[in-house]
Amino acid sequence: MNRHCRVPYRYSWRQKILVCLTSKFSRQNFHNYSTQRLHASILQGLRKTKPLKQVHAHIITSGVSGNIFLCNRLVNSYASCGLMANAHIIFSQILYKNLVSWTVLVSGLIKNGLFIEAIEAFHEMIVKEIMPNELTIASVLPAFGKLGFAKMGKSVHCYWIRKKFQDNVFVETAFVDMYSKLGCTNVARYVFDKMSDRNVVSWNVIIAGYSDKGFGEEALLLFNAMKRRGFFADVFTLMSLVSACLSIEDLRVGSGVHGLIIRSGYGNDQLLRTSLMQMYISGNSVNDAYCIFDEIPMKDVVAWTLMLSGFSKSGESKRTFEHLNKMMRVDEIVLDSISLVSILSGCSCSGALQHGRRVHALVIKAGFESDVFVGSSVIDMYANCANMEDAKRCFEWMEEKDIVCWNALISGYGMNGYGNDAIDLFMKMKGSGLIPDESTLVSILFACSHAGLVDQGLQIFDCIVENWSIVPSLKHYACVIDLLARAGRLNDAYTLMKRMDLQPDIYSALLSACRVHKNIEMGIKISQKLFESRPNDVGQYVLLSNMYALAGNWDGVKSTRIYLRSRNLKKEPGFSTIEID
């Protein structure tokens, strides 16, 4: 073989055989080495399509294509190359499929994002009375988490417990990840705490589970516990920590994590850099975000989009367009729909109408005016800038309107106090054949609430289940409570609120209504609920104090202020921005 195919001696036998296999001498030289074991060795780790198909062809011509060991390897190799159709064909040709065959198929489907198909294959395997092992279970668990199939995931966990498998950090970590993605954070933590052995991946999964669900403080506490046990942070740990800082909205902690990233040697990681930029932009520290952005040697569209949206959000239209021109001319990055939507979102947040008009002109110039994704963002921008005429005009210009476009205009009418217009548009949408979704109903209920249309709002709320088969969410109930509270029907609002496990923001809205209608007795009840959930939220104490003042209860004002001073709680000063041409 080496006489016809000269390969340096330092290469492994597997590499030599691959070179010969892809050369013109492959058939005459490779024939003598066509053992099953040799084929299997070559297939292991093979990730390129052309040599894989050549090896497969040689297996067929060698007469060993029926070997189950080689078939399993081929299924795995084709799946790793993203060729699941080929993998399925080979799998279907295996006469007597064993546990490895099914495990390789399930794993391959998961790798390629075919989660439904993976669960179906797993179910078929069980029906054929082939019982899964640890590797099969670990392979299928991500599908349950991704698709939200909690019952199936729990049943597999019960099977794992009943069979009394030995402790396996790989499988147990997969269970923690599954429960985290299902939103069962407490169960994930229970499984994690019961693990006899943990590795860095285990810690990363539980930390990510908490940070992804908005429990930033718990994620940071877990990281401290991880350090105490002698584990070091890797890039995945640090990504979760940045996400945790985003959820707690504390730039001091975020700056500390930034320092940790640099000390850990990951300061040049592109994903971490863009995540840090997002953290600083969310904390209204655009200059800190720009410092990171400026240090990136090869700026991609994600970094540019983040920076431009940061400038837009802070109302810095001059810097936005300076860098927009630089992005297109110097770095030659073409504007895409995501970039435009991000910049428009920044204009919406800052209420920068003139800035938004210029971005709208860019949308038209770039040919995205008919894109429903961008078009709905343009409508939303004009609505947030209180320019409903242009919002309506853009809506009417759109050739195709999906539910998002309708929702954007309905929401715009609602936030600007045009309740009747919102209801008229809602009726037109239904007449066009579109079925309202949860967001539509939240928007129309919000519009009724802010326009004082109590009867219409309650009528729409009553139709949610009957007409559209939508189970009312907490957002819908929150809108109805706000609707009743604004109309002075505080007892009805409080009764409905007690039936629901609502967020503290809803209590705040009802407390504000109590202040407006001078209902001190109910205001005190609601304040107690708020103080239990948010003991350090100064705004609630100030709201209660103002309510006492409006009612002439100066003793209540005094006691509230004294309590604030004793806890060393101070109200953060607010700020606003104006657009300067």
Tens digit of each residue's pLDDT (9 = 90 or more) over 209-222:
999 988 999 999 99
pLDDT at 570: 63
Residue 63, classed as helix, strand or coil, is coil
pLDDT in tens, 41-55: 666 666 677 777 777
pLDDT in tens, 476-507: 888 888 888 888 888 888 777 776 655 556 67
pLDDT at 40: 63
Structure-model confidence comparison of residues 355 and 149, the more confident one: 149
Residue 293 pLDDT level (bands cut at 50, 70, 90): very high
Domain segments of the chain as ranges: 198-291, 298-400, 473-572
pLDDT of 409 over the 90 cut: yes
DSSP string, 493-528: HHHHHHHS---HHHHHHHHHHHHHTT-HHHHHHHHH
pLDDT of 452 over the 90 cut: no
Nearest to 543 by CA among 527, 563, 554: 527
Mean pLDDT of 256-285: 94
pLDDT at 43: 67
pLDDT in tens, 219-232: 999 999 999 999 99
Q: What is the dihedral of CA 314, 319, 321, 323, to 10 degrees?
A: -120
> What is the residue-averaged pLDDT of the chain?
83
Contacts of 469 (CB under 8 A, 6+ apart): none
Tokens for 326, please give them: 């630089």
Lowest mean pLDDT among 81-85, 109-113, 342-346, 413-417: 342-346
pLDDT at 467: 78
Mean pLDDT of 285-289: 93
Structure-model confidence comparison of residues 504 and 349, the more confident one: 349
pLDDT at 521: 76
pLDDT at 108: 93
Return the percentage of the chain with pLDDT > 70, whole number: 84
CB 336 within 8 A of CB 342: no
pLDDT of 63 over the 80 cut: no
pLDDT at 98: 92
Question: For every residue of 294-340, which 3-state class applies, written as one string?
Answer: HHCCCCCHHHHHHHHHHHHHCCCHHHHHHHHHHHHHCCCCCCCHHHH
CB 143 within 8 A of CB 137: no
pLDDT at 143: 94
Tell me how far apart the alpha carbons of residues 331 and 346 are, in angstroms, rounded to a whole number. Answer: 22
Lowest mean pLDDT among 15-19, 53-57, 94-98, 549-553: 15-19
The 10 Å Cβ neighbour count of residue 42 is 25
Structure-model confidence comparison of residues 456 and 497, the more confident one: 456
pLDDT at 229: 94
Structure-model confidence comparison of residues 69 and 350, the more confident one: 69
pLDDT at 406: 94
Residue 250, classed as helix, strand or coil, is coil
Structure-model confidence comparison of residues 346 and 194, the more confident one: 194
Residue 328 pLDDT level (bands cut at 50, 70, 90): confident
Lowest mean pLDDT among 32-36, 350-354, 453-457, 485-489: 32-36
Tell me how far apart the alpha carbons of residues 549 and 353 are, in angstroms, rounded to a whole number. Answer: 38
Q: Can you list the pairs that 540-544 forms with residues at least 24 positions away whose Cβ atoms lie under 8 Å?
A: 540/508, 540/511, 541/569, 542/571, 543/508, 543/511, 543/512, 543/515, 544/511
pLDDT of 581 over the 60 cut: no
pLDDT at 537: 67
pLDDT at 269: 93
pLDDT at 11: 44
pLDDT at 554: 81
Tell me how far apart the alpha carbons of residues 153 and 127 are, in angstroms, rounded to a whole number. Answer: 17
The 10 Å Cβ neighbour count of residue 567 is 12
pLDDT in tens, 516-571: 777 777 777 777 676 666 666 676 677 777 777 776 778 777 877 777 777 666 66
Instruction: Classify 473-572 by CATH class.
Output: mainly alpha
| Chain-centre distance for alpha carbon 531 | 30
pLDDT in tens, 143-200: 999 998 999 999 999 999 888 887 889 999 999 999 999 989 999 999 999 998 999 9
pLDDT of 267 over the 80 cut: yes
